[in-house]
Amino acid sequence: MKIANETKVGILAAFSIALLIIGYNFLKGNSIFSSETVLYARYTRVDGLGVSKPVLINGFQIGRVDKLTLQPDGEIVATLKIKGKYDIPKNSIARLESTDLLGGKAIVMALGTGQDFALDGDTLNANVEKNLMETVQPVQKKAELIIGKMDSILTSVNSILNPDFQKNVNKSFNSIAATLSSLEGTSKKVDGLVGTEGKRISAILANAEAISANLKNNNAKINAILTNINTVTDQVAAANFKQTIDNANKAVTDLQGIVTKVNNGQGTLGMLVNDTKMYDNLNNASKNLDNLIIDLKENPKRYVHFSVFGGGKKDK
């Protein structure tokens, strides 16, 4: 039986079309000869996620993203096709994560617990984690600040470590070395002095120890002496105080006697205080003296008379 050329061309064309479809699906990651489970996940944003991006469990690819659909509420539904039969608990989380610094994304399954597994057509819980650049940005800013500070510090260090400063540092180290040498010589001299004067120092310490021992042994005597001194001082002070009080009492007694005599009219002072005759006589004399002075001012000729030739008569 001879096959016509048209039949051969048709068979070849059909085979080519089938091969093209199989290759296209293969390139897209679609499984042609194995069963697939379709799951869904809802995201608020899918930056970097595209069709054919992998679905991973612990870094192992179990499927791919088949389609992304924008919903009226602004969310995006990702259609996930899982190759073969995998037991994925319903409480698993389809986490959208970055896979590289360029922003490439993949869906990583964080497997839940329990024996209630997701079936074909179920929708998984989903969340979106920050991409690597968003995570690195704060660190990058801190690194930039640190680099800026390091630059300023290095600039300051370079300005400090100039030739003049290095010369001063060298001089300072030389001075320190000379000082240490002087201290070493001084310590040697002190050691020699202590060695030569060791006997005298020992003798001085022995004398000081003997003096302290004598003071300790005579402590009771010293206390007795101090007690006697305190007693004598108290007695002297008491005697002086008693004599002073006696003298004061005697003076007060004498003063009281004088006041009593004055009040009784005894003596000149008593008569002056108690007798009013002298007061009256003095008062009358004062009045007469005032009248005399007034009359002298009014009639001076009555008391004073003089003549140029000495022939005048004096009025009595």
Residues in the chain: 316
Query: Chain-centre distance of CA 237, in angstroms?
Result: 61
Split at pLDDT 50, 70, 90, the class of 316 is: very low
Domain ranges (residues) in the chain: 1-33, 34-129, 265-299
Please report the pLDDT score of residue 132 as a whole number: 47
Confidence check: pLDDT of 123 > 60: yes
- pLDDT single digits (tens) 38-80: 999 999 988 888 898 999 999 899 999 999 999 999 999 999 9
Confidence check: pLDDT of 309 > 60: no
User: Strand locations in the chain, DSSP E?
Assistant: 36-43, 54-57, 60-70, 76-83, 93-98, 105-110, 123-128
Closest alpha carbon to 126 in 49, 72, 62? 49
Please report the pLDDT score of residue 139 as a whole number: 65
Segment among 96-100, 176-180, 301-305, 310-314 with least mean pLDDT: 310-314
- pLDDT single digits (tens) 254-288: 888 888 887 777 777 677 667 677 778 878 888 88
- pLDDT single digits (tens) 169-209: 778 888 898 899 888 888 888 877 777 777 788 888 888 88
